Amino acid sequence: MKLYFAPNSRAVRSAWLLYELGLDFEIEKFNLGDPKMRAPEFLAFSPNGRVPVLIDGDVTLFESPAIAEYLAARYGEGKLAPDAASPEYPTFLQWFHYGEGMIMGPVNNYMVETFFVKPEHRSEVHAKRALKLMGRMVQAIDTHMADREYLAGDFSIADTITGHACIVSERCGVDVSDMPNLTAYTKRLLARPALQKAMAL
């Protein structure tokens, strides 16, 4: 099994889950913006030139939520996603998709305006708007986490996707001083050895 990885990217989610599962894997490491990510060899299995990419035998996947679902189904032994008959399953589905659907869009916009484009092309207005929207999106999670430790029952792949998006939002500078449930949740995730290992890569 091989993971194409870059620090401070969605690939952290995939490495985190691989470590949670105790799976052996090889890492091909890039830095964000590395020209090698535009090379034909890489574009052959990552058409947008992005990470993560997971190769497991004859399986190749390049979307972190898809990678998470695949790993949970094939190697999770039922521990990282509730069964469809479980009362937690609808909640799990909702929050599993929330990170990409609602949080990472403004995160992407913020990163473009503060990191990826040249300083002379950046827009402070757009960056502030993206940061404000991130704050609105994570507020819903703060409310949801009022009486629970994880998003849907036990720790699951929803936490590796949407929980990671919450951590990224905080690190972008979202003001979470009035979100005690969210703050406690992200601290709980950051204390997990598997995530610490993934973030140290």
Q: Encode pLDDT of 56-101 as tens digits.
A: 999 999 999 999 999 999 999 999 999 999 999 999 999 999 999 9
What is the average pLDDT value for the chain, to the nearest integer?
96
Mean pLDDT of 175-185: 98
Considering the four listed CATH numbers 3.60.150.10, 3.40.50.1820, 3.40.50.300, 3.40.30.10, the one that applies to the domain covering 2-75 is: 3.40.30.10
Contacts of 73 (CB under 8 A, 6+ apart): 81
Name the DSSP letter for residue 27. E
The whole-number average pLDDT for the span 119-129 is: 92
How far apart are alpha carbons 38 and 112 in whole angstroms?
Answer: 18
Domain 2-75 and domain 89-192 have a common topology:
no
Q: How confident is the model at residue 33 (pLDDT cuts 50, 70, 90)?
A: confident
- Is residue 32 very low, low, confident or very high in pLDDT (cuts 50, 70, 90)? confident
Angle formed by the axes of helices 180-190 and 164-172, to 10°? 110
pLDDT over 90, % of the chain: 95
Look up the CATH number of domain 89-192. 1.20.1050.10
Average pLDDT in the 6-22 region?
A: 97
Q: What is the pLDDT of residue 117?
A: 82
- Write down the domain spans for the chain: 2-75, 89-192
Give me the mean pLDDT over the 159-173 stretch. 98
Q: Is the dihedral of CA 162, 15, 168, 52 positive or negative?
A: negative
- Across 142-170, average pLDDT: 98
**pLDDT band for position 116 (50/70/90)?**
confident
The whole-model pTM stands at 0.95
Alpha-carbon gap, residue 106 to 104, rounded angstroms? 6
Verify cis geometry, omega within 30 degrees of 0, for the bond prior to 52. yes
The answer to whether 28 and 5 are in contact (CB under 8 A) is yes
* Bridging pattern class, strands 53-56 and 59-61: antiparallel
Determine contact, residues 138/174, Cβ cutoff 8 Å: yes
